[in-house]
Chains A and B, each alone.
Chain A
Amino acid sequence: DTEVTQTPKHLVMGMTNKKSLKCEQHMGHRAMYWYKQKAKKPPELMFVYSYEKLSINESVPSRFSPECPNSSLLNLHLHALQPEDSALYLCASSLLFGDTQYFGPGTRLTVL
């Protein structure tokens, strides 16, 4: 299985909602990543987990809260988002940090 899955594919939420994005891989990868990508812009790295520990947090606002419950799963909890947080959220994994990354299809998030 060489796939990274992300759910949901699309999400529309209000500014007072709480929601979660989910990412899963079964390749035995020990590094997992969250990126944010606005339309027609390059991706921005948000968080990196290595061996289930948060190793990189790129000064992301606290309304984004990552969680890595086990080596296969990565969640991104969303609370009190702003309309400017609307973007494509990409999850990726790699065998070890810095190795070739495998990306999920992304979650397209709209905040109203």
Chain B
Amino acid sequence: ELKVEQNPLFLSMQEGKNYTIYCNYSTTSDRLYWYRQDPGKSLESLFVLLSNGAVKQEGRLMASLDTKARLSTLHITAAVHDLSATYFCAVDTSSNDYKLSFGAGTTVTVRA
């Protein structure tokens, strides 16, 4: 069974500091996704990571993937208030039947 664990579940950030969200998963994956969701809103895709060692960056967010460790990280550089949201990682696999599993989400609050 494909399980995805995110930590921390809640993260209070101070503006200007750096933080990391971790996403661990239990079986071989095809793709790893990161999404952002503002309260009461829809999802926004951030990154799709395909291969070991993949690194993608957009603004203050950088995601990386280590398929051997079954770990992805979302690194936030110099946090700003606009980054307050819930961040989800998700992993899919087609090793048996197709399965897409989401982590529980990390709720980020950035304070001055």
Binding site for B on A (CB under 8 A): 35, 42-45, 56, 58, 88, 90, 92, 98-106
Contact = CB atoms under 8 A, between A and B. Distances in A.
A106 B39 CA distance: 13
B104 interface: yes
B43 A92 contact: yes
Contacts of B102: 42-44
Which DSSP category, helix, strand, loop or mixed, fits chain B's interface? strand
Contacts of B42: 88, 90, 103-106
Contacts of B90: 42
B88 A43 contact: yes
Given A103-B42, A104-B42, A105-B42, A45 B100 contact: yes
B30 A98 contact: yes
Contact of B105 (A42, A56, A90, A103): A42
Contact of A42 (B41, B44, B48, B104): B104
Task: Identify which of B31, B33, B43 gathers the most chain A CB atoms within 10 Å of its CB.
Answer: B43
B45 A102 contact: yes
A103 B43 CA distance: 6
A69 B29 CA distance: 31
B45 A42 contact: no
14 contacts: A42-B104, A42-B105, A44-B102, A58-B100, A88-B42, A90-B43, A98-B31, A98-B92, A99-B48, A100-B48, A102-B45, A103-B44, A103-B45, A106-B42
Contacts of A43: 43, 88, 102
A102 B43 CA distance: 8
B45 A100 contact: yes
Nearest to A102: B45
A57 to B, nearest CB: 10
Nearest to B103: A42
Nearest to B89: A42
Contacts of B30: 98
Nearest to A57: B98
Contacts of A102: 45
